[in-house]
Chains A and B, each alone.
Chain A
Amino acid sequence: EEQLLESGGDLVQPGGSLRLSCAASGFICSNYGMSWVRQAPGKGLEWISAISGGRDNTFYADSVKGRFTISRDNSKNTLYLHLSSLGVEDTAIYSCATRIGVMLVWGPGTLVTVSS
């Protein structure tokens, strides 16, 4: 069964950095495009970044471009999101997800809180 599990969420001060991990199981994540999505308190869902399968092309929403970096470690079958220059507006549940054929797989999410 294809599964994703995020980790790394924490309380961080404004201006700080954090690295989120998304461990894949049941499939080889390097073969598929993968995305990060977030939901801030009281707000809707927002796609923030993606990495393509194979060539590792990367894509970012304007709201995080230049501050967040998506990457993948194929040896660990794990997706990452490095967050930097964090602001209170980045407080959210961060989830990773992937499309395998027409199937969509979501992880349960990890909470990032930016506060002093």
Chain B
Amino acid sequence: DIVMTQSPDSLAVSLGERATINCKSSQSVLYSFDNKNYLAWFQQKPGQPPKVLIYWASTRKSGVPDRFSGSGSGTDFTLTISSLQAEDVAVYYCQQYYNSPWTFGQGTKVEIK
């Protein structure tokens, strides 16, 4: 199974500042056939289901604010919130869909400093 490890487990960022979450997979999730990284980022607010922000490691879902961006390839990925807003307080998960079983990172809790 591919193990997804996020860092940090939590972070507190001032409003308007940058937040960076890292995600490392135990093996590459880059599929050579189509040159795509099978990696998604989700945001989960309390009492709500997760919501996809980024897929294929760097493609922003329609309607997601452009302060959210994803980068990385192979085994190392980053979710960046360029200017943290109050509504961004949530837990963020990375997840690989390269092979079965699909696996999630443990989550990173983002709070306001």
Judge: A and B partners, yes or no. no
